[in-house]
Amino acid sequence: MPVLNILHLVGSAHNNFYCDLSRLYAQDCLAATADPSLYNFQIAYITPDRQWRFPDSLSREDIALTKPIPVFDAIQFLTGQNIDMMLPQMFCIPGMTQYRALFDLLKIPYIGNTPDIMAIAAHKARAKAIVEAAGVKVPRGELLRQGDIPTITPPAVVKPVSSDNSLGVVLVKDVTEYDAALKKAFEYADEVIVEAFIELGREVRCGIIVKDGELIGLPLEEYLVDPHDKPIRNYADKLQQTDDGDLHLTAKDNIKAWILDPNDPITQKVQQVAKRCHQALGCRHYSLFDFRIDPKGQPWFLEAGLYCSFAPKSVISSMAKAAGIPLNDLLITAINETLGSNKKVLQN
């Protein structure tokens, strides 16, 4: 069986936060999936100055020792490497769009969704409009730009249209709180969504994977929320920075988030809605969606997060593990979907 040359595309062309987040996940993926009999891993590391590096590892020392080069030289290097496929590990907007498009131009296949789908999913209002047209319930909302006045009566949620990890998200309980909430949200994006607050309920995330062309719903992840003390999730529920400057995944402690028993009655209902979202958005290989469940058990689409690092702590990896799918099998399934049924080189 031939060894696959897989390039891990890591870092961020946007800022150091996304650079560190990408490195955190990719480092775990490299360690957990390394198998010299199956893969030869290479690393491309992009920094916010848009310089490329090809380090031996993702340690800070190896990155610092590697000479930065511009994109033209990086393309020359990549075309001579006989790369079979690329695994995207970038979470910033340029990384999810422009850099994936570059690999389309280079005719190097990659796991995950295409740049146009990533751009739509990253814009929460566009993603909502598309899934709503497919019959999925979404909270009533409006898209605002600087100077616009909200018309939705509180309680309402104000959030940047394109930020992740709950950055800039505020629950407004009174109209007097709108100005401060909008000011905060506009720090992260040029457009802001104001949407009606959906009473709890519950909040869950649903992952979908594709195997042999079939959509498979994974066990749900549920988040710690409470109608009185924690009606919405915030940044601290997901990430925190340690004293040495590294990021830590606070949502992986089984306290703020946990995998639901698949027999929970909400699971099948949410999986069906998630599959509809997957198809409406035109996703491939895998997808991930957040839902608010109201007190009557009705799922409401909140947003799409169409990425997976294939690290043990990645949400889809955790869901797959709960379904009895080991990480290596999950990766092999995605590789086979990427290469196509006529080019399958790995069996799981």
Note the pLDDT tens digit of each residue in 144-179. 999 999 999 999 999 999 876 678 899 999 999 999
- 237 with 176, same domain? no
Query: Is the Cα dihedral 236, 31, 39, 52 positive or negative?
Result: positive
Q: Are residues 19 and 79 in the same domain?
A: yes
Percent of the chain residues past pLDDT 90, beyond the cut: 83
Model pLDDT, residue 309: 95
3-class DSSP state for residue 130? helix
Q: What is the pLDDT of residues 181-198, one digit of tens each?
A: 999 999 999 999 999 999
Tell me, yes or no, whether 189 lies in a domain. yes
My answer on whether 215 and 190 are in the same domain is no
* Residue 154 included in any domain: yes
Looking at the predicted structure, is the pLDDT value of residue 260 above 50?
yes
Residue 255 vs residue 339, higher pLDDT: 339
- 131 belongs to a structural domain: no
Tokens matching residue 53 = 């590096």
**65-118: pLDDT as tens digits:** 999 999 999 999 999 999 999 999 999 999 999 999 999 999 999 999 999 999
Task: Look at residue 1 in the predicted model and tell me its pLDDT.
Answer: 60
Question: Percent of the chain at pLDDT above 70?
Answer: 88
Residue 229: the pLDDT is 61
Residue 343 reports pLDDT greater than 70 = no
**DSSP string of 205-256, one letter each residue:** EEEEEEETTEEEEPPPEEE--BTTTBSS--GGGTEEE-TTS-EEEGGGSSSS
Q: Which domain holds residue 55?
A: 4-111
Query: Residue 291: inside a domain, yes or no?
Result: yes
CATH number at residue 83: 3.40.50.20
Tokens matching residue 306: 């169409």
Number of domains in the chain: 3
Residues 188 and 221 in one domain: no
Residues 200 and 231 sit within 8 Å (Cβ to Cβ):
yes
Whether residue 246 sits in one domain with residue 168: no
The reply to whether 232 and 272 lie within a common domain is yes
Q: Which residues of 128-148 are buried (b: 16+ CB within 10 A; e: fewer)?
A: bebbeeeebebbebbbbeeee
CATH, residue 181 = 3.30.1490.20
- Do 184 and 205 belong together in one domain? no
The stretch 225-232 carries a mean pLDDT of: 65
Q: What is the pLDDT of residue 283?
A: 98
Instruction: With respect to residue 311, please indicate whether it lies within any of the assigned structural domains.
Output: no
pLDDT of residue 342: 46
29 within a domain of the structure (yes/no): yes
Write the CATH number for 242. Answer: 3.30.470.20
Asked, for residue 337, whether it belongs to a domain, the answer is: no
Q: Do 147 and 74 have their domain in common?
A: no
Q: Is residue 247 very low, low, confident or very high in pLDDT (cuts 50, 70, 90)?
A: very low
* Same domain assignment for residues 259 and 233: yes
Residue 325 covered by a domain: no
Confidence check: pLDDT of 244 > 50: no
